Amino acid sequence: MSEPTSISTSISTSTYLDHGATTPLRPEVAQAMAEARAQPLGNPTGSHRPAQHARRLLEEARDEVAAQLGRDPGEIIFTSGGTESANLAVFGALGAAVRDGRPTGVMCSAVEHPAVRQSCLAAAQWPGVTCHELAVDETGSVDLDALAAGLLQAETALVAVMLANNETGVVQPLQRVVDTVRELALAARVFTDAVQATSFLDLAGTTAGADLVAVSAHKVGGPVGAGALAVRPPTDLVARQHGGGQERERRSGTQDVVGAVGLAVALRLAGAERSEAVRRVGGLRDRLAAGLAESVAGLHRTVPAGVEVLPGHLHLCLKGVEREELLLALSEQGVCASGGSSCASGALEASYVLAAMGVPEELARGAIRFTLGYDTTGADIERALAIVPGVVASLRHDP
Ligand code: PLP
């Protein structure tokens, strides 16, 4: 794959370094979705030609998603995105445990995305369900000793550990989590939120041991509003959405065929380009990191060297800078980055991820996340390097 020559048509800005929030729709995906729409599409449950056509597209998309995730097609449930997949995994698996009178404890890492964390906390409001948060160390990696101790202390139905963190990009030792759970709590299921990692990690390999895996199309160059949850037997789910029994009774509602096509094509492209993307994007990220380290004083690289981080992620804490001011000032100059965590209103919240890693509040206030993706170019990085140091210097309260 050669370096892209133009940035995406869907987010028109000079230097878009916020792929972790959403990745521009890939032109090939837009094309495949337009082709899917070009013929009359019926409801995939129907009998006539347009319905048969929709069903064929849906099942082809399912086969592709399953292949990319290393799963059987029957394991794939199409959803409306990462949040729904996470809710279905947590409430579905715990609901089945409650129904069957099995242990009902849930453990989730302290750095899970709110889609997972809030689902676990809400499930803990159910009678008998308990939620235990798993600590991470200063690198952001889940504490395996705490996991083992927790599994020995409380009977657990579900362990939720993400594949890679959305703020820091830190890749979790998922296979070791799986091994620990299999050794100490045979009945417990492992759920991994692979939403951030999809562009850069081979999910078929890295998530092979997990019982439940969530993905979202818009983090990998697909459309917003499409995602999937993979559920490996014998894991049982109680449906969250009741109705016509689509998706093998696990998620009722007429499927979004075009969204499923978009998800499938986005995953296929990511799979085909992965090794080159890891090399190219990782190189650009390293160039950005090195350039900023040279030109910005008081810069703290949040994740220590040697820790595995997604190739597109660069998380920094800038001492003496308020991140909201920084992000707005950068945006004025055409550089789009993120503070790492924001609530629905878009306002920045204190990061519980950084707090869990023990990052001091004075540093966390100046947290900034640059996330690069398939359409990031060397010119984007040079532009960011030309702009960020001056903006930081102009905002610094405590030089
Ligand atoms: N999980 C992670 C790790 C994410 O980064 C996100 C989105 O930011 C989600 C889940 C939610 O995905 P969606 O936006 O598709 O609902």
3-state SS, residue 316:
strand
Share of residues in the chain with pLDDT > 90 (%): 91
- 15: nearest Cα among 365, 284, 298: 284
Question: For residue range 201-235, what is the model confidence (pLDDT) as tens digits?
Answer: 999 999 999 999 999 999 999 999 999 999 999 99
Active site residue 343: yes
Q: Which of 216, 224, 310, 353 to mutate to test the pocket of ligand 1 (most atoms within 8 A of CB)?
A: 216
CATH 3.90.1150.10 in the chain, residue ranges: 7-25+274-395
Alpha carbon of 69 to ligand 1 centroid (Å): 17
Q: Is it the case that residue 2 has pLDDT exceeding 50?
A: no
Which tokens hold the place of 167? 């703020």
Strands 299-301 and 313-318, how do they pair? antiparallel
Run of H or E including 182: helix 174-184
Note whether 340 and 21 are within 8 A (CB): no
CA of 101: how far to CAs of 63, 97, 169, 232, in Å?
Answer: 34, 6, 37, 21
* 251 pocket-lining for ligand 1 (C-beta < 6 Å): no
C-alpha R_g of the chain: 21
Question: For residue range 37-55, what is the model confidence (pLDDT) as tens digits?
Answer: 999 999 999 999 999 999 9
Q: What's phi and psi for 291, nearest 5 deg?
A: -65, -40
Q: CB neighbours (10 Å) of residue 305? A: 6
Share of residues in the chain with pLDDT > 70 (%): 94
Predicted TM-score (pTM) of this structure: 0.95
pLDDT value at residue 352: 95
> At 350, is the pLDDT very low, low, confident or very high (cuts 50, 70, 90)?
confident
Average pLDDT over residues 302-313: 96
Computed over every residue of the chain, the mean pLDDT equals 94
Average pLDDT over residues 116-128: 96
pLDDT value at residue 347: 64
Residues 247, 248, 253, CA angle at the centre, nearest 5°?
A: 40
* 90 pocket-lining for ligand 1 (C-beta < 6 Å): no
Distance CA 162, CA 219 (A): 15
> At 349, is the pLDDT very low, low, confident or very high (cuts 50, 70, 90)?
confident
Which of 13-17, 145-149, 258-262, 320-324 shows the lowest mean pLDDT across its residues? 13-17
> At 9, is the pLDDT very low, low, confident or very high (cuts 50, 70, 90)?
very low
pLDDT value at residue 325: 94
Distance CA 248, CA 230 (A): 13
Q: Return contacts of 177-180, CB within 8 angstroms, 24+ apart.
A: 177/142, 177/144, 177/147, 178/209, 178/210, 179/209, 180/144, 180/147, 180/148, 180/151
Fold of 27-268: Aspartate Aminotransferase; domain 2 (3.40.640)
* 216 pocket-lining for ligand 1 (C-beta < 6 Å): yes
Question: 7-25+274-395 belongs to which homologous superfamily?
Answer: Aspartate Aminotransferase, domain 1 (3.90.1150.10)
Ligand 1, atom 12: closest residue by C-alpha = 82
Q: Is it the case that residue 13 has pLDDT exceeding 70?
A: no
> At 368, is the pLDDT very low, low, confident or very high (cuts 50, 70, 90)?
very high
Distance CA 313, CA 330 (A): 18
Q: Which of 219, 338, 341, 369 to mutate to test the pocket of ligand 1 (most atoms within 8 A of CB)?
A: 219
Distance CA 132, CA 110 (A): 9
CATH 3.40.640.10 in the chain, residue ranges: 27-268
